[in-house]
Structure 1
Amino acid sequence: MTLRVLVAPSGFKECLPVEAVGAAISDGIRRVLPDACVTAVSLVDGGEGTARTLAAASGGRLVPVTVTGPTGDAVSSHIAVLGGAGPLTAVVEMAAAAGLALVPDDARDPGRTTTHGVGELIRAALDQRCERIVVGCGDSGTCDGGAGALTALGARVLGADGRPVPAGGNGLLRAATLELGGLDVRLAGTEILVACNPYNLLTGERGVARVFGPQKGATDAQVEELASAMEHWAALLEHRCGTDIRLTPGGGASGGLGAGLAAALGARLVPRFDALPGYPELDTQLAAADLVVTAEGALDHQTPHGKIPAEVARRAKLQGKQVIALAGVIGRGAAQTRPVGIDAYACIVCGPMSRREAMDDATALLTDAAEQALRMVMVGTRLSGHPRAGRRGAGRSGVRHQAAKRT
């Protein structure tokens, strides 16, 4: 009987796009079972590669745009204009304008980086006369509460002296006034959805500055400064827009971009697996599979909180499917992925090597790891039907039976 394997991974950040991850895993599976029916699906979460993947999947197109990058320099970016029926829809991938990959290692200070380029991408979508704009959040290198994006769309964030505050999260501590009268008038007639992780909050102990600030290069002192900036920004948004966005699910997405767009533009914060195409079809594909293989760059305590492998596993378990996860790094709290449906996981790095070496060899490492994982599955499958395994169970029962007779 032909084994049907569904490969449903995430992309590996700053390393491999999701299509390449799926292809590498599929190659490893076919090394073991050349005749297996292997289906690879490209799932996105709003982060790196979202626009390109969805443009290809929908028969749409990428529109190149030059925007202001997170450090203020011009960067080459793009939006996706999706094909298919329904309202003309653009996908704005915030990581393509303000992602961490666009911030040099020596400039990683989320107190200074800006989402200005994200606003420029939204404006480019308006220029394409799109009726709906989906802003994909993920992989950001910023923590400015979306203030940069709003200024690119015509808003003004002013200090007590009436002058614009500096770009970045640190500048928000000096913000006294938010002027929205200059916003692009086309926004009023456009539906804006923010595809976000609902676990991400703007403020509090689980606020975006404290949870993600260190990953973006912030020191402990900078984290606390950014947390104060997000509190101040939330108060200003509430005063100007009448919306308390502090603990709204998804408000902390992409360094608070979700909060800024929701409060000032009326954008809807939607869980990304509901807002992005591909997930309704996933349930059908899972139903047809015997085994599911997922993957991501790092499997750790954050994976259950809105990451693709956890969503794949959750849906797979509803249909009684077994799930294996492969990861570039197995981090702290990885065992927390088991309750959400990941039955087994493995690291693709099998020997000492640097992070750079692992990233350079990621394709080969993934293929080898997929091969080894499937070989383990096949060994387990053979053992489960081995007559000696059955006799071992019978023998124990027999011993208990004889003891009962003697008693």
Structure 2
Amino acid sequence: MRILICPDKFAGTLSAPEVAAAVADGWRDTAPDTEVVQRPLADGGPGFVEVLATALDGHRVPVDTVDPLGRKVAGEVLIRDDDGVPTGYLESAQACGLHLLAPDERDPRAATSYGLGVLMLTAVEAGARRLVIGLGGSAVNDGGAGMLTALGAVPLDSTGVALPYGGAALTAVAALDGAPRLRGVDLVAATDVDNPLLGLHGAANVYGPQKGASREDILLLDSALERFAGVLERDLPTCPAGLAGLPGAGAAGGLGAAILALGGRCESGIGLVTRLIGLDAALDATDLVITGEGSFDQQSLRGKVVAGVAGAARDRGVPCVVVAGRVSTGRREAAAAGVTEAHSLVEHYGGEDRDGVVQAMARPAEGLRAIAARLATQWRL
């Protein structure tokens, strides 16, 4: 029997490679003769670089950068040769991630994407001619203004003074000073978010609340991004017309818009990862797929990693099992998406009472190993 283990991260507890390793260990405890293939996944959000670095040749370049509040934080860039093109893989979450802030620190009015610009410059200095930037899980809503500042294009107010960091300051933006120091590199935003920059489906309205924005903040930030988009179209020769309405412009608090304005393009994050790690070939050669994520819920069925894996397994007639921290998706909906069965750490540790949830967060690897051992017994039969 051959099984393929290809989970996303369990946010706040385990990375995707750690999840895959725990499931593989549990399966082998019961069925050591099984051929087990691990292909941890990411969709552009936190863990994007780690997943690629685990699966691909290349070298990891450590980077000292800053978090959304300007504090020092460690990041890295993966540099590898892609068909003769030196390519740098990096992720916005390492510098702009919501997980870098305590709940009471979240404030998209002040949070900056400056640290992402530092990562990009490091990749360029390391010789990259293409940058693939994973977008997702951000704490910012500054439209990439901080990133552009780090690259050398500084937003100014009407008096010629550089703006403070954060999305709120963009209500006063009047111009960009300087040019981005990117040496003509090709830019790719890896994201599965297709939101525009503005409006009801835009960056501030859809993602602002989880970043700490009030209703008043959302209105302010949306207006600020509208003003900034106009400046980008006027002052950046590479910026396409109608920037604010382009699919993906609203990704990661408007970082998608900044990358598009620099002449970049958007690609599916999960599509890019699955192509690079050879997931299709692994799916073609397996008898059972195990995937998962921290919370298997309604959002999981709308273009996230689990939905993509389950759909691909269904198309091949291969059963797909989901393991998750918590499962709240109905069986009928899950089955329609290609999921054969789903198991949760919360249920493993006793259910939705406080102890079950606490244990699921405190002992995820142990729980995954036990669930996988049970699955091995069941599926071997």
The reply to whether TM is greater than 0.5 is yes
| Runs of 4+ deviating beyond 4 Å | 277-280, 331-337, 354-357, 373-378
**CA–CA distance in structure 1, aligned partners of residues 162 and 252 of structure 2:** 22
Paired residues for 1:6-405 under 5 Å: 6-83=4-81, 85-179=83-177, 181-184=178-181, 187-240=182-235, 241-263=239-261, 265-276=262-273, 278=275, 281-331=278-328, 336-350=333-347, 351=350, 352=353, 353=355, 357-375=359-377, 377=379
Q: Identify which range, 226-235 or 132-141, moves more after superposition.
A: 226-235
SS at match of 1:51: helix
Q: How much has 1:310 moved relative to structure 2?
A: 1.2
Closer/same/farther in 2, CA of residues 56 and 289 from structure 1, 3 Å limit: closer
SS at match of 1:125: helix
Q: How much has 1:360 moved relative to structure 2?
A: 2.4
SS at match of 1:173: helix
**CA–CA distance in structure 1, aligned partners of residues 141 and 331 of structure 2:** 26
SS at match of 1:112: coil
Q: How much has 1:120 moved relative to structure 2?
A: 0.8
SS at match of 1:110: coil
Closer/same/farther in 2, CA of residues 95 and 294 from structure 1, 3 Å limit: same
Q: How much has 1:28 moved relative to structure 2?
A: 2.6
**CA–CA distance in structure 2, aligned partners of residues 65 and 364 of structure 1:** 32
Closer/same/farther in 2, CA of residues 155 and 209 from structure 1, 3 Å limit: same
The total of aligned residue pairs comes to 373
**CA–CA distance in structure 1, aligned partners of residues 330 and 145 of structure 2:** 34
Contact between 1:55 and 1:81, CA under 8 Å: does it hold in 2?
no
Contact between 2:274 and 2:280, CA under 8 Å: does it hold in 1?
no
Q: How much has 1:297 moved relative to structure 2?
A: 1.0
Q: How much has 1:104 moved relative to structure 2?
A: 2.4
SS at match of 1:138: coil
Partner amino acid, structure 2, of 1:189: G
Contact between 2:135 and 2:189, CA under 8 Å: does it hold in 1?
yes
Closer/same/farther in 2, CA of residues 79 and 313 from structure 1, 3 Å limit: same
**CA–CA distance in structure 2, aligned partners of residues 274 and 75 of structure 1:** 29
SS at match of 1:53: helix
Q: How much has 1:99 moved relative to structure 2?
A: 1.1
Partner amino acid, structure 2, of 1:74: K
**CA–CA distance in structure 1, aligned partners of residues 243 and 335 of structure 2:** 32
**CA–CA distance in structure 2, aligned partners of residues 337 and 86 of structure 1:** 41
Structure 1, unpaired ranges of 5+: 383-407
Partner amino acid, structure 1, of 2:269: R
| Cα displacement string for residues 79-101 of structure 1 (whole angstroms, at most 9, x for unaligned residues) | 11125652111112111111112
Closer/same/farther in 2, CA of residues 217 and 336 from structure 1, 3 Å limit: farther
Q: How much has 1:331 moved relative to structure 2?
A: 4.2
SS at match of 1:349: helix
**CA–CA distance in structure 1, aligned partners of residues 373 and 199 of structure 2:** 44
**CA–CA distance in structure 2, aligned partners of residues 107 and 334 of structure 1:** 38
**CA–CA distance in structure 2, aligned partners of residues 85 and 261 of structure 1:** 23
Report the aligned-residue RMSD.
2.4
**CA–CA distance in structure 2, aligned partners of residues 203 and 329 of structure 1:** 32
Contact between 1:301 and 1:337, CA under 8 Å: does it hold in 2?
no
Partner amino acid, structure 2, of 1:127: E
Contact between 2:7 and 2:293, CA under 8 Å: does it hold in 1?
yes
SS at match of 2:298: coil
SS at match of 1:296: strand
Partner amino acid, structure 1, of 2:266: L
**CA–CA distance in structure 2, aligned partners of residues 242 and 367 of structure 1:** 49
Contact between 1:98 and 1:114, CA under 8 Å: does it hold in 2?
yes
Partner amino acid, structure 2, of 1:321: V
Closer/same/farther in 2, CA of residues 201 and 344 from structure 1, 3 Å limit: farther
SS at match of 1:246: helix
| Cα displacement string for residues 333-378 of structure 1 (whole angstroms, at most 9, x for unaligned residues) | 7865443322322221122337564322111122223334455556
> What TM-score do the two structures reach when normalised by structure 1?
0.84
| Cα displacement string for residues 140-188 of structure 1 (whole angstroms, at most 9, x for unaligned residues) | 1211111111111011212223222221111222222234x3321xx24
